[in-house]
């Protein structure tokens, strides 16, 4: 396990950028510009290179085709992805994402949505496209905004707004299912009363 982490770091963007900057420090040493402090120059440039390197991206999971049988499996992959990136999210987007994932989980566990093509489409699009893309684009934009601040709305505001819009669509499915179940219950009551 520790060996895998060490090998993972050796192949990481941070280590490669640090090594490149460290090599520049060695070049300064050989030209005589670093002087007697050359170990500090090389180590400092390595550290600076490692700090400016973009973070490793968690790969967005690949999803299956449209269909109710595969949607639960795709949701499980989405939940694993969300769990892996949640520590990188600020509190507000993390809460909004947790609320959305909780609602999706409840809907997919309950059923009923699989008999309605529109509900299947909305939930499938949320699980397979909208949520992973919103999170992935936020993680990319946040890193670049750290190095070039200013200019437009923050990535956090965008991802919160995106998650709220996705949540609105998923809540619409839940409300539709509640209405259908309510009508079924009323119909059964009328049938029993008339019988």
114-118: Cβ within 8 A, 24+ apart:
114/68, 114/71, 116/176, 116/177, 116/180
Q: Say if residue 178's pLDDT is above 90.
A: no
Give the domain range for residue 6: 2-52
> Residue 170 in 3-state DSSP?
helix
Number of domain units in the chain:
2
Q: 40 and 78: one domain?
A: no
* Alpha-carbon radius of gyration of the chain: 25
Residue 176 belongs to some domain of the structure: yes
- Kindly state whether residues 47 and 126 are assigned to the same domain: no
Who has greater pLDDT, 192 or 61? 192
Kindly report, residue by residue over 83-108, the tens digit of the pLDDT: 988 888 889 999 999 999 999 998 88
Q: Do 73 and 156 share a structural domain?
A: yes
Asked if residue 63 belongs to a domain, the reply is: no
Query: Angle at CA 162, nearest 5°, toward 160 and 163?
Result: 65
CA pair distance 21, 24, nearest whole angstrom:
5
Nearest to 75 by CA among 40, 45, 113, 43: 113
Do the domain assignments include residue 58?
A: no
Q: How far apart are CA 59 and CA 54, in angstroms?
A: 14
Q: Could you tell me if residue 131 is inside a domain?
A: yes
Measured from the Cβ of residue 50, the count of other Cβ atoms closer than 10 Å reads: 20
Q: For position 143, what pLDDT does the model report?
A: 74
Q: Judge whether 168 lies within some domain.
A: yes
Asked whether residue 154 falls in the same domain as residue 85, the answer is yes
- For the segment 10-46, what is each residue's pLDDT rounded down to a tens digit? 777 787 788 888 888 888 888 887 778 888 888 888 8
């Amino acid at each position: 396990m520790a060996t895998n982490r060490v090998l993972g770091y050796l192949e990481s963007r941070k280590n490669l950028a640090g090594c490149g900057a460290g090599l520049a420090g060695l070049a300064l040493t050989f030209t005589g510009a670093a002087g007697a402090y050359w170990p500090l120059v090389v180590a400092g440039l390595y550290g600076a290179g490692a700090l400016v390197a973009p973070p490793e991206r968690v790969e967005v999971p690949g999803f299956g085709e449209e269909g109710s049988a595969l949607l639960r499996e795709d949701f499980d992959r989405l939940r694993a992805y969300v769990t892996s990136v949640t520590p990188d999210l600020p509190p507000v987007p993390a809460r909004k994402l947790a609320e959305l994932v909780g609602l999706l989980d409840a809907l997919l566990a309950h059923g009923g949505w699989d008999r309605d093509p529109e509900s299947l489409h909305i939930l499938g699009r949320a699980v397979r496209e909208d949520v992973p893309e919103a999170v992935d684009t936020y993680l990319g934009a946040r890193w670049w905004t750290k190095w070039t601040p200013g200019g437009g709305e923050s990535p956090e505001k965008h991802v919160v707004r995106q998650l709220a819009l996705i949540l609105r669509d998923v809540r619409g499915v839940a409300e539709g299912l509640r209405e259908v179940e309510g009508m079924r219950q009323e119909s059964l009551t009328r049938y029993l009363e008339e019988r």
